[in-house]
Structure 1
Amino acid sequence: MTGTQDISNSLQEAIVALQSGIPGQARAILESLIEQGVDNAAVWGVLALASRDQGDMKNAIAAADRSLAHEPRNPRAIVVKGDAYFKAGDRQAAAAFYRDALNYIPTQAQLAPDMAADVQRARERMESLAGDFTRHLNDTVGDLIDNAKGDTARMQQAVDMLLGTRRIYYPEPKQIHFPGLSLQEFAETAHFDWVPAVEAAFEDILSEAQALQREHTEFDAYLKSSGSRPAYDLHGLKDNQDWGAFYLWYNGEPITENQARCPKP
């Protein structure tokens, strides 16, 4: 097997040839190293680039896979796979590999010119492919949603999630988790018959709150410290008068003096 320094020198020669626009020469050097038993992420990665630049996408994918076996987060090898699938017309696969590669590159990373060009091309193609997919989905599903009978909110939400324009908000109970309940991101107000009455009373609630402020009423801290529990306060809210509450009920018991100051039902 070739010595470490010889391997390094040959790899550098291949990189120079590749950057000089001679991918065939780079490929010959790299394949010679591989025949001598060299097997590492760098050699396979540069071979993937050389094969891609020659238009040999089958070999480019094979070499990229060998490089990724050594270094799974090698963005250039991932970009090569995106380029290969893009040329083959598999737009979804290309977009997936481009997106994956970009996720592994820090936003402010200083990149070599040739790598920067690869990254920029990947970003532009991914944006173009995403736009194409958005138009395709809107064209094929949009009319279906527009013409469907009944509530189509869930269908629209599904489309939005496919397009990455909407996230799912899962319940995150802090005290009690009750298994088996259906996933409800946000409760529909129509499911609660008391909501209209509360909404209709908004002006009364507002006027009573403003009256309390005019009277310089002190609100209790919303979160109060208690020696019976550990004090976890990551946001500085415990005993904080800037985050207060005027309780009409507390722990299930009426606060009669406070209720008397807010008499409207």
Structure 2
Amino acid sequence: MVLKPEIDSIGAAGADALQRGEFKLAESFFERYAAAAPGDRRGHFGLALARKELGDTDGAHIALDTLLRSNWVDLPALMLKGDLYLEKGDRAAAASFFGLALRHVPPGGAPNREAAERLRRAREFMDQYSREILDRIFVELSSAGYRKDQSSRRFTESVQILAGAGKRYVEEPLSFYFSGLPAIGFYPRQSFDWLEPLESQTDVISDEFMRAAADESIFVPYVRESEGRPTQYDKKLLNSSDWSALFLVDDGKVIEKNARLFPKTLSILEKTPLHRVDGHGPIILFSRLTPGTIIEPHTGFLNTRLICHLPIIAPAGCALRVGNETRDWKRGEAIVFNDSIEHEAWNKSDRDRVVLLFSVWRPELTAEERGLVSALMVSGFGFTHGGA
């Protein structure tokens, strides 16, 4: 039986030999280490490193397979397996090991700079490989009549997820989750017969906004501290004018001094299914992002309402991502989205971006369900707004 101090000494000698580039000597030390301590990963991994440098790819795989049988998510072993397959030209096998490794990166990230660089390279490879696979799939599907710009958006996103070029996003409301609703990011226009009439009034709404916005004091930071509640947005935007709001209705409370400046806008919105709940909804506001502002990925508070944006000022370089899909804002073209799915927004232009933002009921909810959700919210359960 080899005692632990001797095993440690063998391991240190193997590591020193690796460092000096004496790979054959390192291999002999790590073979002894692995034989003396077969349950210790250090011997098997060191053996794999030495054999890789000696060009013994099969031997390196054997050592790594032994290690992975005891811990199938050993990240360095998975990464090294991926490297070995990539050197051999087997991109599919490399992707399988890199993909598994990237799915099991610990919450704290890589333990050191070298590991972080290896993970970065693996992500770059996976991004490129996923795009290649996706292109090949779409070429194959074209013979079955698939057209990316015309075929089912749901199917396209499913294929993107299959190829690793997209992520499976689910509803993650911060406060209340209503079970059984579909996880749709951007809603199709045909779901709402009130969209076109709303869009036709863009100039009317814009005129009221431009007159009111001449008074800068009418805007308040969108992300504000609230007594007895944590701030759940990016702290960089807390109390910042970079993301500001001109509230007409805030959580169901009419802001009279602002609302009287927008009689036509509020009249137009009366024709939409506003998310009306005493003390909780709707929210109606003009959301303003200054140049260079980024709203980091986040989710809203409940999945029983949707958020509608009617762009008023929409320079090129401003966009909204919901789940896997990103859309540019275009003046007068409304967007309706589910803010309980991860979303982010940015203004990469040199002008302000302004949208009229308001909340509406989910069309899937019955009248009874809307009434029950309202009763639950009014009963004292804590909700708040959200939007981008």
Amino acid at match of 1:243: A
> So what's the TM-score if we normalise by structure 2?
0.49
Aligned to 2:245: 243
Aligned to 2:97: 97
Residue 179 (structure 1) shift: 1.6
Amino acid at match of 1:245: F
> What is the number of equivalent residue pairs in this alignment?
255
In structure 2, the residue corresponding to 1:246 is in which secondary structure?
Answer: strand
Residue 98 (structure 1) shift: 2.8
Judged with a 3 Å threshold, the aligned counterparts in structure 2 of structure 1 residues 10 and 183 are, in CA distance, closer, same or farther, namely same
Alignment of 1:223-242 (within 5 A): 230-234=228-232, 236=238
Aligned to 1:262: 263
In structure 2, the residue corresponding to 1:172 is in which secondary structure?
Answer: coil
Aligned to 2:3: 3
Distance 1:3 1:89 in 2: 42
Higher relative contact order (CA 8 A, sep 6+): 2
Distance 2:150 2:94 in 1: 37
Deviates more, 1:91-100 or 1:66-75: 66-75
Deviations 1:76-118 (A, max 9, x none): 322332244446765323113234556579579444xxx8997
- Structure 1 residue runs of 5 or longer lacking an equivalent are none
Alignment of 1:50-65 (within 5 A): 50-65=50-65
Deviations 1:49-94 (A, max 9, x none): 2344455545433422443466666443223322444467653231
In structure 2, the residue corresponding to 1:186 is in which secondary structure?
Answer: coil
Alignment of 1:60-99 (within 5 A): 60-68=60-68, 74-86=74-86, 90-99=90-99
> So what's the TM-score if we normalise by structure 1?
0.67
Alignment of 1:1-265 (within 5 A): 1-18=1-18, 23-37=23-37, 39-68=39-68, 74-86=74-86, 90-101=90-101, 103=105, 109-111=112-114, 129-130=129-130, 132-141=132-141, 144=144, 146=146, 151-214=151-214, 218=218, 230-234=228-232, 236=238, 243-247=245-249, 251=252, 258=259, 262-263=263-264, 265=268
The structure having more radius of gyration, on CA atoms, is 1
Residue 40 (structure 1) shift: 1.1
Does the 8 A contact of 1:68 with 1:77 survive in 2?
yes
Aligned to 2:338: none
Task: Name the Cα RMSD after superposition.
Answer: 4.7
Does the 8 A contact of 2:247 with 2:255 survive in 1?
no
Distance 2:117 2:2 in 1: 32
Does the 8 A contact of 2:23 with 2:50 survive in 1?
yes
Amino acid at match of 2:27: R
In structure 1, the residue corresponding to 2:151 is in which secondary structure?
Answer: coil
Distance 1:215 1:129 in 2: 52
In structure 2, the residue corresponding to 1:245 is in which secondary structure?
Answer: strand
Judged with a 3 Å threshold, the aligned counterparts in structure 2 of structure 1 residues 152 and 55 are, in CA distance, closer, same or farther, namely same
Deviations 1:129-187 (A, max 9, x none): 44643443343345656558963323332333345444454333445432222222222
Distance 2:31 2:216 in 1: 82
Kindly, what percent of the aligned residue pairs are identical? 23
Does the 8 A contact of 1:51 with 1:60 survive in 2?
yes
Judged with a 3 Å threshold, the aligned counterparts in structure 2 of structure 1 residues 215 and 87 are, in CA distance, closer, same or farther, namely closer
